[in-house]
Structure 1
Amino acid sequence: MKIIWDKGHGGSDPGAVANGLQEKQLTHKIVEYAMSYLEENYTGFEQRATRAGDQTLTLSQRSDMANAWSADVFVSVHINAGKGTGFEIYVHPNASPQSIALQNVLHDEILSAMRQFGNVTDRGKKRANYAVLRETKMPAVLTENLFIDSNDAKHLKNEAFLKAVGEAHARGVAKFLGLPQKTKLQPEPKPQQKASDKKLYRVQVGAFSDRKNAERLADELREKGYPATIV
């Protein structure tokens, strides 16, 4: 299965900017976390990002890349602006049933991950005639991960939040595609040492000229659970 991750904006187009944050940097981080999580936990797929670093790409270049590669899934990651709050996810108005299914599973995974960090508004599952949704030929969604210019920014400044959101994107795609999970290798148990292999150390407690004294000490040791032999 082939997965295309679209890091919204980039290069000369920073996207939304506010509160010391740039959308292009946040989308880069979220996608990188998503791709790493997939590599670590799943198999049976290939994945690419529309940009590796901070390149400038047109909308048509993004969809053309996905179409030329015959990708099975296209996920475009964005950060919202406009003083609002919350998470929303888009498909095209004429979306296929597969795109709607992808939207449903990603919506639930991402919102659940976000709410581990506090109350996050669910702005819902929406439709819009965005170019990357209109021009791509595979199931495609666009996520808007909170607002950069509102109180949401406190979450977007939290690296643990960005990581959780990226990993939720990955889990959603994996569920949609039915990707098999990697088998976790268990550490090999250390071989147990056989009693016959153990080195024994003997302790001499005392020596007596009178056998009765030796027997008395041996009895005391046996009462305390120690083996005692008179030689």
Structure 2
Amino acid sequence: MFKVWIDAGHGGKDPGAVANGIQEKDIVLKVSLGIKNRLEEDYENVQVLLSRSTDVFLELKERTTKANAAGADILVSIHCNAGGGKGGFESFRYKSASENSIKLQDILHKAIMGKLGGIDRGKKAQNLHMVRESQMPAVLTENLFVDVVADADRLKQVSVIDVIIAGHVQGIAAYLGLVQKTKEDKPVLLRDINVLSKWAEVTWKEVTEKGYFDGSRPGSTVTREELGAVVSRLLKKIES
């Protein structure tokens, strides 16, 4: 059983980069939870452990200490960027990284850029705590810039978050040589339609506060009638 440690950067009192209506801590938590769900659902013999699964603050040392104690096979720290001019994606390893960390960065960077597209800021080496203090191959990813309008607009799209998740999953699976589950292997999970998924908390709160949805049954499918009601409410907002 492979152990993958996913570290959602920042959290709690530390929002990370903030701009254009985005807090880094929220984006990276969505991505981290998505990576865990997809890896464990789609691949055999893999367990994904998280530094945080909610909006809590953790010191850097706490994160790497837990990952090292768990005996994780790899660590990927998820971040968004700021202050980068034109924006884009980049990844980091430690300055004196092991061959395996370099290999993980190569595979992960290629997989994410292949899905995400846009500006490739390159594979970099830097003295960052998360990649320095981790005892396993470790890479930190910087997924677009919250203070670049074009990047921020992308980060607000569910489809782009999904692409970022997919790129990480593909890269991790390729590096570890994970085997995909067959349809017969995948459990049929019946979700409680009244329980809100963690990754959707911010968006669901926003659309309910604006009156597009009534706040009930967040996990249910939408009928054409219900979709019509949502469109009607949206049009009324636009016209008012």
TM-score over 0.5 for the pair: yes
In the alignment, which residue of structure 2 is the partner of 1:104?
106
Q: Secondary structure at the match of 1:152?
A: helix
What's the secondary structure of 1:103's corresponding residue? helix
**Contact 2:93/2:140 (8 A) holds in 1:** yes
**Highest Rg: 1 or 2?**
1
What displacement does 1:34 show?
1.0
Tell me, in whole angstroms, the C-alpha distance in 2 between the residues paired with 1:113 and 1:155: 13
Distance, in Å, in 2 between the alignment partners of 1:113 and 1:184 is 24
C-alpha distance in 2 between matches for 1:147 and 1:47: 26
Q: Hey, what's the Cα distance between the residues in 1 that align with 2:112 and 2:182?
A: 24
**Residues 87-127 of structure 1, C-alpha deviation per residue, up to 9 Å, x if partnerless?**
00000000000001100111111011112xxxx10000000
Structure 1 residues 116-127: aligned runs within 5 Å: 120-127=118-125
Within a 5 Å distance, the mapping from 1:1-231 to structure 2 comes to 1-84=2-85, 85-115=87-117, 120-150=118-148, 151-185=150-184
2:166 alignment partner, SS class = helix
- Indicate if the aligned counterparts of 2:33 and 2:53 stay in contact, CA closer than 8 A: no
User: Which segments of 5 or more consecutive residues in structure 2 lack a partner in the other structure?
Assistant: 186-240
Q: Which moved more, 1:167-176 or 1:13-22?
A: 167-176
- CA–CA separation in structure 1 for the residues paired with 2:60 and 2:23: 19
Q: Measure the CA separation in 2 of the matches of 1:160 and 1:49.
A: 23
> Structure 2: which amino acid aligns with 1:64?
T
Partner of 2:234: none
What percentage of residue pairs aligned between the two structures are identical?
Answer: 46
CA RMSD of aligned residues (A): 1.1
Q: Which moved more, 1:76-85 or 1:12-21?
A: 76-85
Asked if 2 retains the 8 angstrom alpha-carbon contact of 1:34 and 1:168, the reply is no
CA distance in 2, matches of 1:68, 1:47: 14
In 2, the alpha carbon distance for the partners of 1:146 and 1:106 equals 15
- TM-score of the superposition, structure 1-length normalised? 0.77
Higher relative CO (CA 8 A, sep ≥ 6), structure 1 or 2?
1
Offset from partner CA, 1:197-227 (integer Å, 9 cap, x none) = xxxxxxxxxxxxxxxxxxxxxxxxxxxxxxx
**Off by >6 Å, runs of 4+ in structure 1:** none
1:185 deviates by 3.0
SS at match of 2:141: strand
Q: Distance in 1 between matches of 2:141 and 2:9?
A: 10
- TM-score of the aligned structures, taking structure 2 as reference length: 0.74
Gaps of 5+ in 1: 187-231
